[in-house]
Amino acid sequence: MKREIEVFELFTIKESIEWSLKTEALVIGLYQDQKKLSGVAEEIDALLDGYVTEYLRDGEVRAEFKTVSKVHTLGKIGAKRIYFVGLGKKQQLTAERISQVFGKLTKVLYNDEIEEMSLLFDSFQENHLNRTKHLSKAIAESILLASYRFADYKEKDNRLIKKLEQVTIYSKQNKEDLKQGLKKGAAYGEGTNFARTLVNIPANLLTPTDLADYAQEIAEKYEMEIEILEKEEMEKLGMGALLAVNQGTDQPPKMIVLKYQGRKEWNQVVSFVGKGVTYDSGGLSIKTREGMIDMKSDMGGAAAVLGAMDVIGKLKPEINLLAVIPTAENLINGSALKPGDVITSLSGKTIEVLNTDAEGRLILADGITYAKQLGANYLVDVATLTGAAVIALGESTTGALTNNKEWYEKVEKSAEVAGEYMWLLPSFDFYKKMVKSSSIADLNNSPGRPAGAITAGLFLGEFAGVTPWVHLDIAGPSYTKRSSDLNPKGGTGVMVRTLAELALTFS
């Protein structure tokens, strides 16, 4: 009997395939600059009486990048259908393009209601970049990301929607490398999908209390320590910035802290701080009607942090990590925060509030300060912070700020490996002076529209102080109204993989 390795629930590894094996879908990679069929493709061609060569000549099977060609075998082999996946030219194939290929394939399989497939891994392994561990990671991650569907709230009929339930990987490559790659890719995909779901849940079904419950589930699942501060405890500690944002709603705020200890000694602590505004009306500086529609997504930073903690719980890296999530709603009642109010943050710094729709930086100010009080030596905050970041960088790129070049370079490298786009914004002194432009308080939460993404981030830098810190403004890429190969409409789970990669490679 051939040795099998179970990888989570979806993936199984086997060494070789017998052509009589029954399978719904047999998947084979084809390179465009391959002069003639070779390897398993050549074997399949012989079994199908040369039809594959004929199909290639006629254009019914193609090898151009991201093409998927389906061939019915008519019972000549055990596979019901063969899906030939076009990889383009060998030297042009990158990790990002591999992800796009498997995203496209997964969508085709989904539309064909394929529940089980067999993947001939070695037919994708002929390229210079494709080391076994990296390729298997990209495949697993892409399949998970592309197969994500949010369970909506429509009344369903009796027809069950079929989805991919089993992927068997056939390969003669190193089995341990395959296993590690698949496990990492599956963990990254599952963590990202978890974050997507949190963002997609309507605000009436995801209050700060509900968000804390999800954090509790992660803590229990992976045996992490958890602390959830209630309003009374925040009042005693002096979390005036978070409490000020919460004044306009009946829903109680929460300060969520997850602790993961992956080292023997509790030192060199990294903290991920995620903005958890579960609904943002703008407060008294109210948004437009159109501007409020998707504001359930204003907790995308918190979702990214929790998604990363899900990955970390699965893969157990050697890192000490604090996830800190300040969470509240930003609504309007008779007690709501008013433009012109002055509040005192947990750090003791006073803030003149000129815009109640600049609330994310207020709750993060207390979140960052609390992370430092708990012993954080390195900080990364993640937030859907400003529309200005979208104007500056569009919908695909995260804006970044930092007070420490070396720490930023580690975060940037993690984003590069994760395939997520990031761009460092300037932090010149005259921008910092804008944040301190209040005549009656230490800081001004909204100096104006010019350089809005920069001043918002630098406002948070005032609370990070000298602690190495990177700010990630994900307002653009965290939520999309257009589907792509790997992302359906809605929450994208952006920065889950970057944070997870940072945790796995931290030293």
Angle between helices 300-315 and 175-200 in degrees, nearest 10: 150
Active site residue 361: yes
What is the spatial distance between Cα 103 and Cα 89, in angstroms, rounded to a whole number?
18
Angle, vertex CA 67, rays to CA 63 and CA 71, nearest 5 = 80
Return d(Cα 80, Cα 334) in angstroms, integer.
66
Catalytic, out of 104, 296, 361, 372:
361
Name the nearest CA neighbour of 453 among 478, 435, 439, 465.
Answer: 435
Q: Are strands 254-261 and 225-229 parallel, antiparallel or unpaired?
A: antiparallel
CA distance 269 to 426: 27
Instruction: Give the span between the Cα atoms of 355 and 35, in whole angstroms.
Output: 63
Closest CA to 202 of 288, 329, 309: 329
User: Is 190 part of any known ligand binding site?
Assistant: no
Helices (H) and strands (E) in the chain, counts: 16, 21
Q: Residue 369 is encoded by which pair of tokens?
A: 């300060």
359 marked as part of a ligand binding site:
yes
Are 362 and 244 a contacting pair, CB within 8 Å? yes
What six digits make up the tokens of 159?
A: 């027809």
Q: Which residues of 324-353 are buried (b: 16+ CB within 10 A; e: fewer)?
A: bbbbbbbbbeeebbeeebebbbbbebbbbb
User: Are 195 and 146 a contacting pair, CB within 8 Å?
Assistant: no
User: Helix, strand, coil % (nearest 5) of the chain?
Assistant: 40, 20, 40
Q: Is 177 annotated as a binding residue?
A: no
Residue 298 annotated as part of some ligand binding site: yes
Q: How many CA atoms lie within 13 A of 46 on its CB side?
A: 7
Of 62, 66, 80, 287, the active-site residue reads 287
Closest listed residue to residue 346, CA positions, set 241, 205, 229, 215: 241
- Are 76 and 20 in contact by the 8 Å Cβ rule? The answer is no
Residue 175 buriedness (CB in 10 A; 0-12 / 13-18 / 19+): middle
Angle between helices 175-200 and 496-505 (to 10 degrees): 140
Answer yes or no: 314 catalytic: no
> Phi, psi at residue 494, to the nearest 5°?
-60, 145
Q: Is 213 within any annotated ligand binding site? A: no
> Which residue ranges make up the annotated binding site for Mn(2+)?
275, 280, 298, 357, 359
Q: Which residues are annotated as a binding site?
A: 275, 280, 298, 357, 359
Which amino acids are annotated catalytic? 287, 361
